[in-house]
């Protein structure tokens, strides 16, 4: 995800997770005790560039929303009534910025825990004058649980969630039955959830979990063509050139 880490290219270009040993240092015992759910991420130090650092300092107060365990008024957060799309795990935010620029009549509430990614998206917001993104730097599981009202979202984007590809790590995958059961409550009837992954085994799990959720209906028989609004990332282009697959799943809230 983070190009600056300069790791060797993994077998599947977007699937460079879980992070390497040493990147778990910040996950303290207190974190684990207080946040009882299994986390779908580990807090990584990563490398924060000077520009990203500056963006966090100067722009997060303007485009960020602090995590607090109380309901968020989305209309007030964006200062307008417009369709609200939630993105979970935007990484470095390049696709997020493109989608938001291309769709100025939508508002995008974007969640990420990784500070260099938050800094990078803030830089893009500033450089491109993007008005329809707000960022919460916090665990999506807790944001959903504590801040979002039922039926408040028109759509949800989860692009290339960490695949946690080793069997013993599969339990850390974000997309599991209880999480989706909680997430669908937040989506309006007629709204959508769009997941993309480049990890076949995860794609199969996502298809199963979403298909089993009674409040969701697949828009196609199984995997969907990539919707036009989702730009190809450079990792994805490279992967496709190498013959790797990418699976999009688009389900509607019924
Ligand atoms: C493999 S990266 C993909 C990033 C981006 N969507 C892309 O396509 O390049 C997955 C991202 O999800 C973030 N993430 C994982 N679990 C999360 C959670 N529970 N809440 C917020 N972000 C999370 C990670 O920090 C990571 O940056």
Range of the domain at 131: 3-253
By C-alpha distance, which of 85, 128, 115 is closest to 1? 115
Domain CATH code at residue 201: 3.40.50.150
Judge contact between 91 and 1, C-beta under 8 A: yes
pLDDT tens, position by position, 156-214? 999 999 999 899 999 999 999 999 999 999 999 999 999 999 999 999 999 999 999 99
Instruction: Report the pocket of ligand 1 as residue ranges, CB < 6 Å.
Output: 1, 14, 17, 40-41, 88-91, 95, 111-114, 117, 139-141, 159-162, 174, 233
* Plot region of 33 (φ>0 → left; ψ -120 to 50 → alpha; else → beta): alpha
pLDDT tens, position by position, 86-109? 999 999 999 999 999 999 999 999
By C-alpha distance, which of 116, 184, 123 is closest to 152? 184
pLDDT at 42: 86
pLDDT tens, position by position, 1-34? 443 433 332 333 333 333 333 334 344 455 445 5
Side-chain-facing half-sphere of 20: CA atoms under 13 Å: 8
Span from the CA of 199 to the centroid of ligand 1 (angstroms): 14
Atom of ligand 1 nearest to the CA of 158: 6
pLDDT band for position 43 (50/70/90)? confident
CA dist 93 and 45 (Å) reads 18
Helices (H), the chain: 29-34, 50-63, 74-78, 94-102, 115-128, 140-147, 177-186, 200-212, 234-241
Percent of the chain with pLDDT over 70: 86
Protein residue closest via CA to atom 23 of ligand 1: 89
- pTM for the whole thing? 0.88
Mutate to test the pocket of ligand 1, among 113, 159, 240 (most ligand atoms within 8 A of CB): 113
Give the number of domains in the chain: 1
Atom of ligand 1 nearest to the CA of 141: 19
By C-alpha distance, which of 57, 46, 77 is closest to 122? 57
The alpha carbon of residue 95 and the mean position of all alpha carbons in its chain are separated, in whole angstroms, by 11
Active-site option among 162, 212, 222, 248: 162
Could you confirm whether 94 is annotated as catalytic? no
Side-chain-facing half-sphere of 52: CA atoms under 13 Å: 16
Mutate to test the pocket of ligand 1, among 91, 115, 175 (most ligand atoms within 8 A of CB): 91
Contacts of 218 (CB under 8 A, 6+ apart): 210, 211, 249, 250, 251
């Amino acid at each position: 995800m983070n190009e600056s880490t300069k790791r060797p290219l993994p077998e599947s270009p977007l699937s460079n997770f879980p992070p390497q040993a040493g990147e778990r240092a910040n996950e303290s015992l207190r974190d684990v005790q207080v946040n009882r759910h299994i986390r779908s991420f580990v807090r990584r130090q990563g490398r924060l560039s000077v520009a990203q650092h500056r963006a966090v300092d100067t722009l997060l107060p303007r485009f960020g929303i602090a995590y607090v365990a109380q309901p968020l008024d989305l209309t007030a957060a964006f200062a307008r009534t417009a369709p609200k799309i939630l993105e979970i795990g935007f990484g470095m935010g390049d696709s997020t910025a493109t989608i938001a620029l291309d769709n100025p009549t939508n508002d995008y509430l974007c969640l990420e825990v990784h500070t260099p990614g938050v800094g990078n998206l803030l830089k893009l917001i500033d450089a491109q004058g993007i008005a329809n993104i707000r960022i919460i730097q916090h665990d999506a599981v807790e944001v959903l649980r504590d801040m979002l009202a039922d039926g408040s979202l028109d759509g949800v984007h989860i692009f290339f969630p960490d695949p946690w590809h080793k069997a013993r790590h599969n339990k850390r995958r974000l997309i599991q039955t209880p999480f989706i059961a909680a997430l669908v409550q937040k989506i309006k009837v007629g709204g959508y959830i769009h997941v993309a992954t480049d990890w076949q085994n995860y794609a199969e799990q996502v298809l199963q979990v979403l298909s089993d959720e009674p409040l969701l209906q697949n828009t196609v028989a199984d995997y969907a063509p990539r919707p036009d609004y989702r730009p190809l990332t450079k990792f994805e282009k490279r992967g496709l050139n190498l013959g790797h697959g990418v699976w999009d799943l688009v389900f509607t809230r019924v």
